[in-house]
């Protein structure tokens, strides 16, 4: 018997092949690291840690040399292959020569398109570009902090200072020199970096000795708000596991594959989201950053770097004080957590969870999924209920080796925010389970499901036995009724602000009752 797991690639035709394949041979023991969206880059490393039996001592399989220009067998190397193409060595030195025996390469990350791969050898950080050249980024025990989607920029931290390395020019740019920065988020295009620092980096703004949230826009550092020290770290307990603002390099951008999934680690384990251009960030904080008294509960905030506006999207003055936390993602459900596009690409929609009733129809007192939406041409945003708000509190099953059902969990959203996927124990559509059986629903704009065509009963026994060779039943096109136009409807009217505060509050409830229909799953 062969010990250890094998790493495979699955084809669209249902076939399988070993991931670690090269011109010198193949090996079962490998670890897949990244596959680019178009499938042209399959990045992996040889060798794997495995255990003979649960609770026994673990061993590590030997790294096999797969290409002539790779380091010798027994030295960890990183490779990049196409499913039907050549296998190339990624972890080469700037001379395009392989490291010596024993100089193991440690994978750090890859750009979204797979063209640039970051790795370490002996404490130095390198970038392999387009499988053609390797550039040395820096030495001094740097911490990898991400790559822009196109691979142009590589971010790293040395001694509390954040730097952006241009993979084209090979020049590093320093973002701060305070020696105490912690990365919160890096935008997809590499133009913005959000970070914490206890120093005052924007004149007299911020509080010395406290965690100040800043943004660097490629030119200068701007102060956003001062959060709480407890916002840095993760939280756990009876409620959803939430990551902290300082978990970007240790949890979200985490090269430690042995820890993947442990304690909620993974690319989605970060308590902030940015738009691709970095102009808007949504983040969690227990601090009271607006006039709303949050009573120490976590709220979801939105900062617009263009306008400088800081808003609380999960706060409702009519629900004060709040009784529960709001959060972007439940890290107890997904291990490792994948990225949820809580913040739409244009920054106008934010999806989150809370047990507080933010609209009048939310009467269940348990966790629900909400959408905050910026209304075009109006200063008043809308808050829409996506889940039912009328869920039953089903008792949890006895402890066992199976996931415990949870009510109304946000599972995903498309980058534009037109589709929202959530798990619920409610029977929201025909055919869904009952009695607390969980199902995953898609609430969408312009969506809906076609109704199956009615099939006439077969009255001729001979014809029925012979079959009509007509194949699967045909679905009729979607009808033009309200039910099939979609279960998330765009707002056709916006709410006008009331003349007085109390009028605005009542008006908001009326508007919320209309808008919450947007989130009903049908």
Beta-strand runs (E) in 69-138: 78-81, 87-89, 105-110, 116-121, 124-129, 133-138
pLDDT tens by residue, 39-62:
999 999 987 654 445 555 555 668
pLDDT at 395 exceeding the cut of 80: no
pLDDT tens by residue, 167-212:
999 999 999 999 999 999 999 999 999 999 999 999 999 999 999 9
Say if CB 421 and CB 440 are below 8 A apart.
yes
pLDDT tens by residue, 324-370:
999 998 877 655 667 889 999 999 999 999 999 999 999 999 999 99
Averaged pLDDT score across all residues of the chain = 82
More confident residue, 217 or 2: 217
pLDDT at 387 exceeding the cut of 70: yes
Say if CB 81 and CB 17 are below 8 A apart.
no
pLDDT at 467 exceeding the cut of 60: no
pLDDT at 464 exceeding the cut of 60: no
- What DSSP letter does each residue of 270-333 carry, written as one string? -SEEE-TTSSEEEEEESS--SSS--TT--EEEEEETTT--EEESS--TTS-S--S-EES--TTT
Give me the residue label for tokens 């084209």: 168
pLDDT tens by residue, 443-461:
998 766 555 555 555 555 5
pLDDT at 501 exceeding the cut of 80: no
- Residue-level pLDDT at 453: 57
Beta-strand runs (E) in 210-293: 212-216, 221-226, 272-274, 280-285
Q: If you average pLDDT over residues 237-266, what whole number do you get?
A: 68
């Amino acid at each position: 018997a062969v010990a250890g797991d094998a790493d495979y690639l699955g084809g669209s035709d249902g076939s399988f092949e070993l991931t670690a394949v090269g011109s010198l041979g193949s090996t079962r023991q490998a670890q897949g690291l990244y596959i680019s969206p178009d499938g042209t880059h399959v990045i992996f490393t040889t060798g794997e840690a495995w255990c003979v039996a649960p609770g026994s001592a673990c061993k590590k399989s030997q790294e096999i040399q797969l290409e002539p220009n790779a380091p010798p067998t027994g030295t960890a190397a990183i490779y990049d292959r196409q499913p039907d193409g050549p296998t190339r060595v990624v972890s080469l030195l700037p001379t395009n020569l392989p490291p010596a025996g024993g100089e193991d390469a440690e994978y750090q990350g890859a750009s979204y398109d797979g063209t640039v791969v970051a790795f370490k050898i002996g404490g130095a950080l390198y970038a392999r570009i387009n499988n053609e050249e390797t550039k040395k980024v820096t030495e001094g025990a740097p911490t990898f902090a991400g790559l822009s989607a196109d691979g142009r920029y590589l971010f790293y931290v040395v001694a509390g200072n954040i730097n952006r390395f241009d993979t084209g020019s090979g020049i590093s740019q320093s973002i701060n020199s305070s020696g105490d920065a912690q990365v919160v988020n890096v935008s997809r295009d590499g133009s913005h970096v959000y970070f914490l620092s206890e120093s005052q980096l924007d004149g007299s703004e911020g509080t010395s000795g406290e965690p100040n949230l800043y943004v660097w826009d490629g030119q200068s550092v701007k102060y956003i708000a001062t959060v709480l020290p407890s916002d840095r770290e993760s939280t756990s307990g009876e409620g959803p596991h939430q990551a902290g603002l300082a978990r970007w390099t240790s949890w979200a951008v985490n090269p430690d594959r042995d820890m993947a999934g442990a304690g909620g680690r993974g690319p989605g384990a970060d308590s902030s989201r940015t738009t691709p251009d970095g102009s808007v960030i949504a983040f969690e904080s227990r601090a009271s950053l607006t006039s709303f008294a949050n009573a120490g509960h976590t709220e979801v905030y939105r900062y617009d770097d263009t306008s400088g506006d800081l808003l609380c999207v999960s706060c409702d003055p009519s629900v004060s004080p709040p009784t529960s936390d709001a959060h972007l993602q439940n890290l107890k459900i997904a291990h490792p957590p994948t990225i949820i596009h809580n913040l739409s690409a244009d920054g106008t929609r934010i999806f989150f969870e809370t047990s507080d009733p933010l609209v009048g129809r939310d009467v269940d007192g348990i966790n629900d999924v909400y959408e905050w939406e910026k209304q075009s041409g109006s200063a008043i945003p809308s808050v829409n209920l996506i889940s039912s708000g009328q869920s039953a509190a089903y008792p949890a099953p006895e402890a066992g080796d199976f996931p415990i059902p949870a009510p109304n969990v946000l599972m995903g959203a498309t980058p534009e925010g037109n589709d929202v996927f959530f798990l619920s124990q409610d029977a929201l559509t025909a055919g869904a389970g009952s009695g607390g059986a969980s199902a995953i629903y898609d609430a969408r704009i312009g969506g809906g499901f076609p109704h199956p065509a009615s099939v006439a009963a077969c009255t001729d026994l001979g014809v029925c036995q012979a079959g009509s060779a007509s194949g699967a039943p045909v679905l009729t096109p979607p009808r033009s009724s309200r039910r099939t136009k979609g279960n998330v409807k765009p707002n056709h009217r916006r709410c006008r602000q009331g003349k007085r505060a109390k009028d605005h509050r009542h008006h908001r409830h009326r508007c919320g009752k209309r808008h919450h229909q947007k989130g009903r799953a049908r």
